[in-house]
């Protein structure tokens, strides 16, 4: 760590990602990068002034177990031995970039037992500062914990504990405004014991904080062989380790970089966490995500704009009837049913000498034939004989219509009209049945090759279904600039297995072909910080071109157990999304995940929407393959 240039991360680093079964949203990834950038500034100061620092607590655990951040954590913790900590506190304010913030004597109410360097105090970050911190709008802080040398023997340790206990109790009593005479007596006793005098002209609490710091750092490397974090030791936790662990450091990988860690990190983690390699989604002493409290400082609309927040609306939840798309093959069926009735009505209108009604009905027949023919030609090309028959049908309609338009009688009598129209209609029906068949068309629109393994069983089922024709059409996506603009197009079609037939997304016209089923894997539409597919592939648009829009997540998660609040919170980044809301069917990984989706969506959209989600969301155990019949 350390250097003058901004840290470089690949665009892919900022994508939403599943790590160890936990969904990490893009905003957290930006926060990670911002934390690393802030740590870079701290490390540069330490390098300049020969100050030793090392990763601790969750950051140390993340480096060892994950090679980076714990997926469900969003801050960095570092520590320094007390001498290094004091030197850092003495030089940091002069060395830190303009606008940074460092408390004078540690964080509030910590008695200088922990401090934090912040990259600013105002939200949102803007301009060069926003760019430096990789688009993370919220101020970031890194906690720095001072570690002290432990008392060299039990007698000194007991005395140190008693003195700290008295001092902490006095500080607590001052805060509670307790009996003044009794408090003054305790203060006097402490002054006599330590041969000190508190300045009555200065705030007592500040002087007590200084005393707590002095009592915590009574011993030095010459006196002691162990190191401790005083608040943990004072509260009775057995967290003391050999001083050599912190005097000799090692480097471990962390998010593509390296961090210094105590040489005895395995022992530290074992004492602190027990079986530290076992995943545990709880832990951490702050609210998650850490930026949530900062959101409350500005209006909701501003936060929504910054985070591209999507809000579920009643109009999105249910498909309007007007948006139900019809495939050209279905339009043929509708045309045949419609004209069967119209032919009889045309003959009756002519027989009743009602030419205006007859002309209106003939115009309707011709318009229907032209519409169906155009759609079939766009989807299948002019090679279809069905299209040629529809053209003949239009010519016959014109032959009947023209004499009526000229004010004369029809060339054919009523029975002749019905016979000729009916015969040609029957030819269209037979030819369409042979050429178009009854196969349903299913289109798969993956965007990440890594997610294809989840769709592949559905595709294989469609491949083996004799009544189904399927297409795999990987769609492109772009990474976003910080201003929301699009970078270079990304396309992963070449990364799919060789046994998967790929159709180029530019060669398949969804609007005109109108497949029976479209299956998508991107839920975000325009509501993701890092990536976007083209708007033509947004779920809100795709549902106009099919009778059934199906969403299948491109990732698999660990099940969200009761009490896993962090995982539940992050569902807003992939469940409350357009792909889920606009889809007619959502297929998730398990019954338990299905219930998690339903619970979250009901909480987000209201109890009155529960039945909608229960009908829409299914799982692999309920639908082993996509039924296309």
User: 2 pLDDT band (50/70/90 cuts)?
Assistant: very low
**pLDDT at residue 413 in the model:** 63
pLDDT averaged over every residue in the chain: 89
**pLDDT at residue 555 in the model:** 97
Is pLDDT above 60 for 100?
A: yes
CA distances from 239 to 229, 271, 333 (A): 7, 7, 77
Burial call 81-97: b when 16+ CB within 10 Å, e when fewer: bbbbbebbbeebeebbe
What would the pLDDT profile of 451-477 be if each residue is shown by its tens digit? 999 999 999 999 998 888 899 999 999
User: 514 pLDDT band (50/70/90 cuts)?
Assistant: confident
Q: Is CATH 3.30.460 correct for 11-150+227-273?
A: yes
Is pLDDT above 90 for 512?
A: no
Is pLDDT above 50 for 218?
A: yes
> Which residue, 526, 517, 528, is CA-closest to 552?
517
Cα(first)–Cα(last) distance of the chain, in Å? 59
What would the pLDDT profile of 385-434 be if each residue is shown by its tens digit? 899 999 999 999 998 888 888 876 655 566 677 788 889 999 998 888 88
Over residues 38-65, mean pLDDT? 97
CB 217 within 8 A of CB 100: no
Sheet of 486-490: strand order equals 486-490, 477-480, 531-532
Torsion angles phi and psi, residue 259, rounded to 5: -125, 145
CB 378 within 8 A of CB 512: yes
What would the pLDDT profile of 288-332 be if each residue is shown by its tens digit? 898 887 777 777 777 788 888 999 998 888 776 544 446 677 788
**pLDDT at residue 3 in the model:** 44
Q: Where are the domains of the chain?
A: 11-150+227-273, 155-218, 323-436, 439-619
Over residues 152-173, mean pLDDT? 92
Is pLDDT above 50 for 224?
A: yes
User: Rounded CA gap, 469 and 512, in Å?
Assistant: 16
Is pLDDT above 50 for 4?
A: no
Residues 6+ apart with CB under 8 A from 433: none
Least confident of 221-230, 311-320, 365-374: 311-320
Q: Under CATH, which architecture does the 323-436 domain have?
A: Up-down Bundle (1.20)
Q: Is CATH 3.40.50 correct for 439-619?
A: yes
Concatenated DSSP letters for 77-141?
EEEEEHHHHHHHHHHHHHHSPTT-B--BTBSTTSTTS-EEEES-SSSS--HHHHHHTTT--S--E
Confidence (pTM)? 0.83
Report angle CA 160, 164, 166 to the nearest 5 degrees: 120
CA distances from 231 to 78, 113, 116, 604 (A): 16, 7, 16, 40
What would the pLDDT profile of 102-123 be if each residue is shown by its tens digit? 987 666 666 668 899 999 888 8
Distance of CA 176 to the CA centre of its chain: 45
CB 612 within 8 A of CB 582: no
User: Rounded CA gap, 160 and 155, in Å?
Assistant: 9
For residue 486, the cross-strand partners are 480
- Residues across the chain: 629
Over residues 247-256, mean pLDDT? 96
**pLDDT at residue 626 in the model:** 53
**pLDDT at residue 375 in the model:** 84
User: Rounded CA gap, 404 and 41, in Å?
Assistant: 88
- 3-class DSSP assignment, residue 112: coil
DSSP state of 71: T
- 3-class DSSP assignment, residue 377: helix
- Cis before residue 289, ω within 30 degrees of 0? yes
Q: What percent of the chain has pLDDT over 90?
A: 64
Over residues 340-347, mean pLDDT? 89
**pLDDT at residue 147 in the model:** 96
**pLDDT at residue 629 in the model:** 39
């Amino acid at each position: 760590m350390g250097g003058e240039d901004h840290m470089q991360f690949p665009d892919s680093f900022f994508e939403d990602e599943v790590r160890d079964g936990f969904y990490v949203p893009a905003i957290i990834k930006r926060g990670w990068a911002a934390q690393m950038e802030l740590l870079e500034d701290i490390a540069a100061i330490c390098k300049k002034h020969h100050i030793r620092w090392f990763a601790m607590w969750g950051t140390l655990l993340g480096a060892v177990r994950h090679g980076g951040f714990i997926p469900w954590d969003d801050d960095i913790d570092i520590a320094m031995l007390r001498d290094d900590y004091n030197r850092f506190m003495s030089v940091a304010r002069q060395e830190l970039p303009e606008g940074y913030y460092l408390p004078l004597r540690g964080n509030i109410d910590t008695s200088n037992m922990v401090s934090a360097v912040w990259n600013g105090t105002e939200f949102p970050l803007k301009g060069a500062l926003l760019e430096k911190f990789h688009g993370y709008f919220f101020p970031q802080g890194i906690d720095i914990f001072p570690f002290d040398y432990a008392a060299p023997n039990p007698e000194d340790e007991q005395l140190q504990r008693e003195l700290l206990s008295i001092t902490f109790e006095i500080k607590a009593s001052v805060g509670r405004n307790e009996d003044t005479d009794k408090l003054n007596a305790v203060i006097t006793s402490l002054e006599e014991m330590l041969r000190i005098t508190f300045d009555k002209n200065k705030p007592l609490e500040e002087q007590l904080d200084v005393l707590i710091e002095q009592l915590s750092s009574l011993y030095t490397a010459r006196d002691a062989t162990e190191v401790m974090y005083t608040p943990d030791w004072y509260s009775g936790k057995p967290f003391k380790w050999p001083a050599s662990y912190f005097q000799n450091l090692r480097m471990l990988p962390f998010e593509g970089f390296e961090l210094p860690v105590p040489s005895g990190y395995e022992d530290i983690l074992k004492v602190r966490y027990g079986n530290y390699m076992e995943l545990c989604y709880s832990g951490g002493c702050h609210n998650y995500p850490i930026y949530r409290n900062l959101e409350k400082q500005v209006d909701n609309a501003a936060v929504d704009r910054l985070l591209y927040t999507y809000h579920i609306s009643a109009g999105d939840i249910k498909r309007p009837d007007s948006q139900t798309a019809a495939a050209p093959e279905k339009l043929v069926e509708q045309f045949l049913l419609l004209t069967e009735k119209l032919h009889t009505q045309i003959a009756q209108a002519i027989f009743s000498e009602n030419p205006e009604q007859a002309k209106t009905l003939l115009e309707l027949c011709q318009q229907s034939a032209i519409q169906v023919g155009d759609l079939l030609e766009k989807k299948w090309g002019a090679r279809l004989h069905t299209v040629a028959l529809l053209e003949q049908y239009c010519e016959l309609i014109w032959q009947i219509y023209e004499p009526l338009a000229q004010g004369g009688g029809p060339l054919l009598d009523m029975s002749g009209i019905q016979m000729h129209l009916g015969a040609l209609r029957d030819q269209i029906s037979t030819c369409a049945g042979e050429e178009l068949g009854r196969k349903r068309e299913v289109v798969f629109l993956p965007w990440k090759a890594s997610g294809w393994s989840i769709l592949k069983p559905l595709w294989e089922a469609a491949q083996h279904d004799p009544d189904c024709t399927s297409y795999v059409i990987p769609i492109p996506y772009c990474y976003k600039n910080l201003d929301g603009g699009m970078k270079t197009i990304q396309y992963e079609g070449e990364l799919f297995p060789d046994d998967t037939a790929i159709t180029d997304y530019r060669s398949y016209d969804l609007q005109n072909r109108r497949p029976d089923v479209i299956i998508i894997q991107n839920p975000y539409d325009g509501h993701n910080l890092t990536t976007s597919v083209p708007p033509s592939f947004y779920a809100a648009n795709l549902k106009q071109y099919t009778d059934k829009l199906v969403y299948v997540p491109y990732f698999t998660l660990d099940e969200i157990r009761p009490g896993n609040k962090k995982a539940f919170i992050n569902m807003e980044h992939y469940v409350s999304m357009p792909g889920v809301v606009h889809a007619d069917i959502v297929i998730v990984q398990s019954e338990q995940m299905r219930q998690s989706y339903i619970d979250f969506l009901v909480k987000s959209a209201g109890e009155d929407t529960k039945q909608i989600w229960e009908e829409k969301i299914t799982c692999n155990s309920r639908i082993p393959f996509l039924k296309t019949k």
